[in-house]
């Protein structure tokens, strides 16, 4: 068995299959109360979804609501791959998040 493919090398179909597998694993982890495993799987799903989104739907300097934090906004300063870098409202720390965690306008 070879190395697993990177999300950036997968087709949309392969990404959907991967998300399905991760979702099943996340449900099991949640049922078993394994919080850290659940969090890791949720992040992997967010990363896989990011590769299925057209990055051109997002723009530097624009403000977007965060999917996982309703009411909290994020201003994009630049992109690196499928990550948008910028600042949450009222926060001075620059962070990078997968574009799948930004609410499309």
For residue 17, give both structure tokens.
């299959």
CATH code for position 41: 1.10.287.880
Residue 1 within a domain: no
From CA 72, how far away is CA 55, in angstroms rounded?
20
Bridge partners for 79 per DSSP: 84
Print the domain residue range for 74.
55-101
**pLDDT tens column, 1-60:** 567 899 999 999 999 999 999 999 999 999 999 999 999 999 999 999 999 999 999 999
Same domain, 66 and 97: yes
**pLDDT tens column, 65-78:** 999 999 999 999 99
Domain count, the chain: 2
Residue 70 within a domain: yes
Lowest-confidence region among 43-47, 55-59, 89-93, 96-100: 89-93
Q: Are 62 and 73 in contact (CB under 8 A)?
A: no
Q: Say what the pTM is.
A: 0.86
- Alpha carbon separation from 8 to 51, 61, 73 (Å, rounded): 7, 25, 27
From CA 52, how far away is CA 99, in angstroms rounded?
10
Same domain, 45 and 77: no
Residue 2 within a domain: no
Q: How confident is the model at residue 64 (pLDDT cuts 50, 70, 90)?
A: very high
Same domain, 63 and 40: no
């Amino acid at each position: 068995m070879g190395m697993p493919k990177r999300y950036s090398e997968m087709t949309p179909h392969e990404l959907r299959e991967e998300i399905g597998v991760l979702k099943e694993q996340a449900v099991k982890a949640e049922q078993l109360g394994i919080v850290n495993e659940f969090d890791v799987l949720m992040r992997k799903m967010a990363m896989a979804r990011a590769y299925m989104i057209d990055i051109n739907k997002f723009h530097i300097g624009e403000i977007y609501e965060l999917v996982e934090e309703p009411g909290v906004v994020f201003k994009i300063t630049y992109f690196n791959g499928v990550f948008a870098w910028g600042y949450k409202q009222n926060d001075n720390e620059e962070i990078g998040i997968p574009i799948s965690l930004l609410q499309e306008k």
